[in-house]
Amino acid sequence: MSSCTREGYRLPLRVYMEDTDAGGIVYYVNYLKFMERARSEWLRQLGLNQQTLLDEGTQLVVYRLACHYAKPAYLDDALEISAHVTNVGRCRMTFEQQVWRNEELLCSATVEIACLSTERLRPKAWPASLKVLTQAS
């Protein structure tokens, strides 16, 4: 079961065949997909979703990413993906994210998200719907 608190969000996830290479090891880019899902579900648990933001003229994009792969995940592993907001600026938000298998840290990343206008694709300040959420995180 997922949980959403002021300290962050945790998403349970199972590794399927489509997530792995021919040897049953999770393909490196899929960790980033798992992290994206956790951020999207964090928004959903807080009452928003990506489509609502797009309808309001707001797009959230990855601006900067630093990732460290420590250990591999395998087919059928039960994982937990965390997303914790560590910094909020005028039009950027930084997440610390981790991928866990039980108590074992597999991957960690610092992900900086930028808030853009869908019309101009230029940075814009957080809309009112997100300001409340960013202050609560």
What is the per-residue pLDDT for 7? 58
Structural domains in the chain plus CATH codes = 8-131 (3.10.129.10)
The answer to whether residue 55 is catalytic is no
Q: Given this model, what pLDDT does residue 39 score?
A: 95
Closest CA to 104 of 122, 78, 130: 78
pLDDT digits (tens, 9 = 90+) for 47-94: 888 898 999 999 999 999 999 999 999 999 999 999 999 999 999 999
What's the whole-model pTM score?
Answer: 0.89
Residue 6 pLDDT > 50: no
Helix/strand/coil for 100: strand
51 and 85 in contact (C-beta within 8 Å)?
A: no
Type of residue found at 129? S
Catalytic residue among 21, 55, 76, 77: 21
